[in-house]
Amino acid sequence: MLAQLGLASRREAEAWIRAGRLTVNGTPATLGLRVRLDDQVRLDGRPVRRHALQQRRIFMCHRSPGTTLGQPQEESAMASRLPTRAGRRFVAVSPMPRIDGGLELLTSDGELALKLQRAAHHLQCEFSVRVRGELNDAQREGVMSGVLDRGAALSIESCEAAGGEGANRWYTLIARGGSGKDVRQLFERQGALVSRVLRIRFGPLALPRLVARGQFRELTREETQMLIDAGADSQSSVR
């Protein structure tokens, strides 16, 4: 419950319980205790408001390369701008490396973040990759193989040229279960000099043009459910 509210991680909440900081209906809380909506939960004597439990709020952010998001142990400018009613602690789902950017998902619901993080390993994502010069046939084949340094292989569905300016060329890569770090490594393994990786689609969600860099918007209930359903479907198909 505390994780869903974005008040703490599971580990932090367990520490609070062991320290006797939480009570339920006036009685010290214990690990594994289940609470009902009408239970009186207090942290350090102050009531814990649970109106947000009925909401599963996710924010789609267009992150500029070089900036940070809300991580469990760090604060960021973008996370600090999100509505305070949505939570106090935001978690990024499958975050892009700091050097890169594009579509990011933030939520204060710890349980939902964990569920989406697991689903991210199976969802189809789309990336824009900028490299210096054009890839030759051998390099394209190497990218399509999906082989990474650790011996694992991504499921690459396509890698298409997408124009460019000067010495730089863009490629659109569609991969299933690939992180931004994996995508960058995939190109660099082929000797390509990668200057930028941007995620432009996460599962069924594409980054809207109306959401400029540094901006964000909250997902609608329909979009949130669509994302959750896509994650559930992708994991069940793998099984």
What are the tens digits of pLDDT across the range 121-159? 889 999 999 999 999 999 999 999 999 988 888 999 999
Q: Which residue has the higher pLDDT, 15 or 38?
A: 15
CATH of 2-53, one of 2.170.190.11, 3.40.50.300, 3.40.50.2300, 3.10.290.10: 3.10.290.10
pLDDT at 86 (0 to 100): 63
Give per-residue pLDDT as tens, 93-114: 989 998 999 999 998 887 788 8
Mean predicted confidence (pLDDT) in 196-218 = 93
pLDDT at 82 (0 to 100): 75
With cut-offs at 50, 70 and 90, classify the pLDDT of residue 9: confident
- What are the structural domain ranges in the chain? 2-53, 55-120+214-238, 124-202
3-state SS of the chain is CHHHHCCCCHHHHHHHHHCCCEEECCEECCCCCCCCCCCCEEECCEECCCHHHHCCCEEEEEECCCCCCCECCECCHHHHHCCHHHCCCCEEECCCCCCCEEEEEEECCHHHHHHHHHHHCCCEEEEEEEEECCCCHHHHHHHHHCECCCCCECEEEEEEECCCCCCEEEEEEEEECCCHHHHHHHHHCCCCCEEEEEEEEECCEECCCCCCCCCEEECCHHHHHHHHHHHHHHHHHHC
55-120+214-238: CATH number: 3.30.70.580
pLDDT at 74 (0 to 100): 39
Is the per-residue pLDDT at 237 higher than 60? Answer: no
Residues of the chain above pLDDT 70, percent:
85
Please give the CATH superfamily to which domain 124-202 belongs. Pseudouridine synthase (3.30.2350.10)
Calculate the average pLDDT of the chain.
85
Q: Which residue has the higher pLDDT, 50 or 204?
A: 204
What residues does 198 pair with on adjacent strands? 101, 128
Give per-residue pLDDT as tens, 39-55: 899 999 999 876 544 45
Mean predicted confidence (pLDDT) in 44-67 = 79
Cβ neighbours, 10 Å, residue 66? 9
Is the per-residue pLDDT at 26 higher than 90? Answer: yes
